[in-house]
């Protein structure tokens, strides 16, 4: 059994309550940290642990905290990104629903490190039932002296708020989230300046993902070295993977980074192999935004090395033959899956969710959806394939936020690896996989 940091006690009845969480050692990291560490020492410990952001980009958490502007008297804010809306990704809600106090404990530690006096958990609007659970847990933390004035007599005070979004994917992008938290339309901001300098209410702000934050109590309890000893290369620690699609055991798994992809897909401990004994065709390894890889490239790199579940191994080969760990949404497709139809579904999503500020994204995502619909319904022409590639190329890198890239990468990779399937749709004037 792999090391468990996040799901260790997840099946303990009543874990969402303060009593049970506390009985299992909960909030001991706050007690230890407020007594023994200065805020800068907490940042140093997180840096040393090598913890990388689990929201998609994998940016080192401690390094991001180090960018915060401490030279002004302005308030600083620590914000938890609980917007989780990436198709295929459903791991954060598991923590929020079943183990909210671990997230709250992580919020206290991060807020202390940054010197924040007010912090926020921004939660996706559709997860209202999780918001209720978190609000109850926040209330319990206040009543037991872990939030509010002068926490445990340390002199440090913190208020924590949980704020619902209204169900827009773009509000997961950190600057759109900040705009939304300020009560405005969730439009991404042009960067720089980055939130560490100009963030919420124009004050220094760090935004971290739920899973990133939920790792903090373990790191402060067990030390940076113990955390860094888990994993492989620059992929330290464990990672939650939400696995779905044509597999025998869809679900949420905590893996040690470095696990071979083959073992993740085929072993009974994880996905349990392909449904009905069919053949693996393709995998989208890190949520809908990352390049799709065919079976041979998800199991082995272009050099023939076994592909591992790590930031480095999954991206080995760049976008020619690699992909990304992303947010950990692992979507498995068997031989019956139509790549064009899958891509059409993703593209419809991105078109719908584009905020509309930049023309390449606003117009391009719509064109991609239309062309894919044409090909999928048997009315496409061979020129459409190159047209799709061209549109994707013109979106990539030319927009305010990475939603544009997220819409372009799946298109480029699907054509790169499955061009024949696009051509067959056009030649046969129907989906070659439908009877
Ligand atoms: C369109 C879009 C949607 C995003 N959605 C989320 C999300 O739901 N949750 C999340 O943590 N990060 C999301 N991100 C990434 C955030 O902008 C940001 O990088 C992340 O919250 C930083 O936290 P981390 O460093 O702990 O990963 C999204 C990014 C984009 C471009
Ligand atoms: S890339 Fe798309 S979602 Fe992002 S700011 Fe531009 S239009 Fe909005």
- Pair of tokens at residue 85: 């809306």
**CA dist list (Å): 433 to 11, 298, 334, 340, 421:** 41, 22, 12, 10, 9
- For the CA of 58, the closest atom of ligand 1 is 27
Q: Are residues 263 and 348 in the same domain?
A: no
pLDDT in tens, the chain (435 residues): 678 999 999 999 999 999 999 999 999 999 999 999 999 999 999 999 999 999 999 999 999 999 998 888 899 999 999 999 999 999 999 999 999 999 999 999 999 999 999 999 999 999 999 999 999 999 999 999 999 999 999 999 999 999 999 989 999 999 999 999 999 999 999 999 999 999 999 999 999 999 999 999 999 999 999 999 999 999 999 999 999 999 999 999 999 999 999 999 999 999 999 999 999 999 999 999 999 999 999 999 999 999 999 999 999 999 899 999 999 999 999 999 999 999 999 999 999 999 999 999 999 999 999 999 999 999 999 999 999 999 999 999 999 999 999 999 999 999 999 999 999 999 999 999 986
How far is residue 343's CA from residue 288's CA, in Å, rounded to a whole number?
A: 9
Closest ligand to residue 190's CA: 2
**Confidence at residue 71, expressed as pLDDT on a 0 to 100 scale:** 85
Closest ligand to residue 85's CA: 1
Q: Are the C-beta atoms of 373 and 351 separated by less than 8 Å?
A: no
- Pair of tokens at residue 226: 């113990």
Domain count, the chain: 3
- Pair of tokens at residue 135: 């609000």
Residue nearest to atom 4 of ligand 2 (CA): 401
Q: Are residues 53 and 171 in the same domain?
A: yes
The residue among 176, 203, 228 that closes a domain is: 228
Indicate the burial class of 200 (C-beta count within 10 angstroms; 0-12, 13-18, 19 or more). Answer: buried
Q: Are residues 193 and 245 in the same domain?
A: no
For ligand 2, the distance from its centroid to the CA atom of residue 406, given in whole angstroms, is: 10
Q: Are residues 115 and 198 in the same domain?
A: yes
How far is residue 253's CA from residue 250's CA, in Å, rounded to a whole number?
A: 9
Residue nearest to atom 17 of ligand 1 (CA): 173
How far is residue 296's CA from residue 3's CA, in Å, rounded to a whole number?
A: 28
Contacts of 378-387 with CB under 8 Å at 24 or more apart are 378/425, 378/428, 378/429, 378/430, 378/431, 379/429, 380/422, 380/425, 380/426, 381/426, 382/423, 382/426, 384/426, 385/415, 385/419, 385/422, 385/423, 385/426
Closest ligand to residue 64's CA: 1
Structural domain of 306: 235-334
How far is residue 18's CA from residue 15's CA, in Å, rounded to a whole number?
A: 8
For ligand 2, the distance from its centroid to the CA atom of residue 271, given in whole angstroms, is: 34
**Confidence at residue 149, expressed as pLDDT on a 0 to 100 scale:** 98
Kindly state whether residue 149 falls inside one of the protein's structural domains: yes
For ligand 2, the distance from its centroid to the CA atom of residue 119, given in whole angstroms, is: 26
Write out residues with Cβ below 6 Å of ligand 2: 170, 188, 354-358, 361-362, 399-401, 403-404
Q: Are residues 188 and 281 in the same domain?
A: no
Q: Are residues 284 and 346 in the same domain?
A: no
Pocket test of ligand 1: the residue of 120, 124, 164, 172 to mutate, having most ligand atoms within 8 Å of its CB, is: 172
Distance from chain centroid for Cα 140: 28
How far is residue 275's CA from residue 386's CA, in Å, rounded to a whole number?
A: 34
Stretch (H or E) spanning 272: none
Sheet holding 159-164, edge to edge: 159-164, 118-123, 77-82, 205-209
- For the CA of 402, the closest atom of ligand 1 is 31
The residue among 194, 213, 228 that closes a domain is: 228
Q: 156: closest CA among 222, 110, 97?
A: 110
**Confidence at residue 2, expressed as pLDDT on a 0 to 100 scale:** 77
Q: Are residues 140 and 178 in the same domain?
A: yes
- For the CA of 365, the closest atom of ligand 2 is 2
- For the CA of 174, the closest atom of ligand 1 is 17
Residue nearest to atom 8 of ligand 2 (CA): 355
Q: 95: closest CA among 238, 301, 249?
A: 238
Kindly state whether residue 5 falls inside one of the protein's structural domains: no
Closest ligand to residue 187's CA: 2
Q: What is the CATH number of the domain that holds 408?
A: 1.20.1440.230
For ligand 2, the distance from its centroid to the CA atom of residue 91, given in whole angstroms, is: 25
């Amino acid at each position: 059994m792999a090391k468990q940091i996040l799901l260790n006690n997840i099946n303990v009845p009543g874990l969402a309550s303060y009593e049970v969480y506390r009985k299992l050692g909960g909030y001991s990291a706050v007690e230890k940290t407020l007594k023994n560490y200065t805020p800068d020492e907490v940042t140093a410990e997180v840096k040393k642990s090598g913890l990388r952001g689990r929201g998609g980009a994998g940016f080192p958490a401690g390094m991001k905290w180090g960018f915060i502007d401490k030279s002004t008297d302005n308030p600083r804010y620590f914000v938890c990104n609980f917007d989780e809306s990436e198709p295929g990704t459903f791991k954060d809600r598991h923590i929020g629903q079943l183990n909210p106090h671990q997230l709250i404990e992580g919020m206290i530690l991060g807020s202390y490190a940054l010197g924040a006096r007010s912090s926020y958990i921004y939660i996706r609007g559709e997860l209202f039932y999780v918001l209720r659970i978190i609000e109850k847990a926040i209330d319990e933390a206040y009543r037991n002296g872990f939030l509010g004035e002068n926490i445990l007599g340390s002199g440090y005070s913190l208020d924590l708020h949980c704020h619902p979004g209204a169900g827009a994917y773009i509000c997961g992008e950190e600057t759109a989230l900040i705009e939304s938290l300020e009560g405005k339309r969730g439009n991404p901001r042009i960067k720089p300046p980055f939130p560490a300098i100009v963030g919420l209410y124009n004050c220094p702000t760090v935004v971290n993902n739920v899973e990133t934050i939920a790792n903090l109590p373990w790191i402060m309890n067990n030390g940076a070295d113990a955390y860094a000893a888990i994993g492989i290369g620059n992929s330290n620690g464990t990672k939650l993977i939400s696995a779905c699609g044509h597999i025998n055991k869809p679900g949420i798994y905590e893996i040690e980074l470095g696990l071979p992809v083959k073992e993740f897909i085929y072993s009974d401990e994880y996905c349990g192999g392909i449904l009905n004994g069919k053949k693996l065709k393709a995998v989208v390894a890190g949520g809908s935004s990352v390049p799709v890889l065919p079976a041979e490239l998800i199991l082995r790199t272009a050099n023939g090395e076994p592909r591992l579940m790590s930031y480095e191994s999954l991206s080995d080969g760049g976008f020619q033959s690699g992909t990304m760990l992303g947010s950990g949404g692992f979507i498995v497709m068997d031989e019956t899956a139509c790549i064009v139809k899958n891509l059409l579904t993703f593209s419809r999503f991105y078109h719908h969710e584009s905020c509309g500020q930049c023309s390449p994204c606003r117009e391009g995502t719509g064109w991609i959806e239309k062309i894919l619909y044409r090909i999928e319904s048997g009315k496409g022409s061979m020129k459409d394939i190159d047209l799709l590639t061209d549109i994707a190329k013109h979106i990539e890198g030319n927009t305010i936020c990475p939603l544009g890239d997220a819409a372009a990468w799946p298109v480029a990779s699907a054509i790169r690896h499955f061009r024949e399937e696009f051509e067959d749709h056009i030649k046969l004037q129907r989906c070659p996989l439908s009877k």
